[in-house]
Amino acid sequence: MTELAQNAIELLTRLIAIPSFSCEEKTAADVFQSYVESRGYTCHRRGNNLWMMSLFYDESKPTLMLNSHIDTVKPVRAWTRDPFAPTVNDGKLFGLGSNDAGASLVSLLHVFFELAKRPQPYNLILAVSAEEEITGSNGMELLMNELPKIDVAVVGEPTRMQMAVAEKGLMVLDCKAIGKAGHAAREEGDNAIYKALQDIEWFRNYRFPRVSDFLGEVKITVTVIKAGSQHNVVPDRCSFVVDVRSNELYSNSEILEIIKQHVACTIKPRAFLLKSSFIDTRHPLVKRAKAMGLELFGSPTTSDQSFVSCPSIKMGPGDSARSHTADEFVYLHEIENGIRTYLELLDGLTIPTHQDRMRHQRRKEYI
């Protein structure tokens, strides 16, 4: 095993032993910051978010951001081992956050160290975000305000080191149908459940016409419904929750307007900022991935990629199917392969700037 991989695994082992639930990442962030600064880098911090820049920073160059998160979910009851006692068995490192997204975090950090040893055609930033698991306001949303302009981003999440070139967005809607209370034994009232059922049936059956090659259709699911107080009262309120997973062909605001045109209930968006993302498959980052034989796919799960406005991809060691599960683990060889693949993908990569993309778009429109 390479020295880079050994160092990454050692750091991950230390981090697993520190509870770092969303909003409670301070101690883990302290350890991470100390580790970075012991290697001669300045580690900037706001709250529990951290970021560092390569020593060869040049404002005339495009900027590449490496990102992953330091927080974890809370362990589920089915754990059969101590989630904060990192153990290695049969080539697997067990522990809470080992797969999601500790393996990506420590791999990207050591890739940063390696790439930063020599000048690259781009500036390099590593951004470590808090509160990713709860989409908290003191996480990536806050961190992006501290960073210089980013031209492309690599977001570290467990994808088996295959490249997600698109990610579904998320919008949560709180809906309410209003009726009129009455006695259930008489022909009184206006049943809010029956009114809600008409809208729920629309949510069930409607299909948005624009279908993504990587993400498929916009997916709408009614997930919660509440109504009524007792058996003999016609309910005057029926509330329900709708989970909307958008593709890159619709903005959340566009989807909301279409929904409002078709349903009678009142709608209040809860989660609204988690937009879908997509990177042009002709981008140099994607072209190099294809040349390396990496699989391109669309991810149904959301991440901090939602807050990144520049072209971005999502990839990292581990497997999304292990995230948030009991006895979470990552294979040690996945971390070693992750570092090797990241380096092959990013070392010497030529990245177009925002201005380059705008000039290209204007040429397309002119032609």
Q: What is the pLDDT of residues 70-89, one digit of tens each?
A: 999 999 999 999 999 999 99
Same domain, 190 and 162: no
For residues 51 and 56, give the distance between their C-alpha atoms in angstroms, rounded to a whole number: 15
| pLDDT mean over 220-247 | 96
232, 247, 269 - which closes a domain? 269
Sheet with 87-89, edge to edge strand ranges: 87-89, 92-94, 329-331
Same domain, 298 and 203: no
Amino acid residing at 265: C
- Taking only the tens place, the pLDDT of each residue in 251-300 is 999 999 999 999 999 999 987 778 999 999 999 999 999 999 999 999 99
| pLDDT mean over 239-255 | 96
Tokens of 308: 């990144």
CB of 240 within 8 A of CB of 201? no
221, 251, 269 - which closes a domain? 269
For residues 175 and 237, give the distance between their C-alpha atoms in angstroms, rounded to a whole number: 10
Beta-bridged to residue 241, according to DSSP, are 174, 224
Is 130 inside a domain boundary? yes
CB of 16 within 8 A of CB of 86? yes
CATH of the domain at 312: 3.40.630.10
What's the distance, Cα to Cα, between the start and end of the chain in Å? 52
Same domain, 189 and 214: yes
Same domain, 49 and 137: yes
Number of domains present in the structure of the chain: 2
Is 141 inside a domain boundary? yes
Whether the model pTM is above 0.85: yes
Is 365 inside a domain boundary? no
Give residue 355's pLDDT band: very low, low, confident or very high (50, 70, 90).
low
CATH of the domain at 207: 3.30.70.360
Same domain, 34 and 98: yes
Q: What's the pLDDT at 244?
A: 96
Same domain, 189 and 297: no
For residues 269 and 257, give the distance between their C-alpha atoms in angstroms, rounded to a whole number: 11
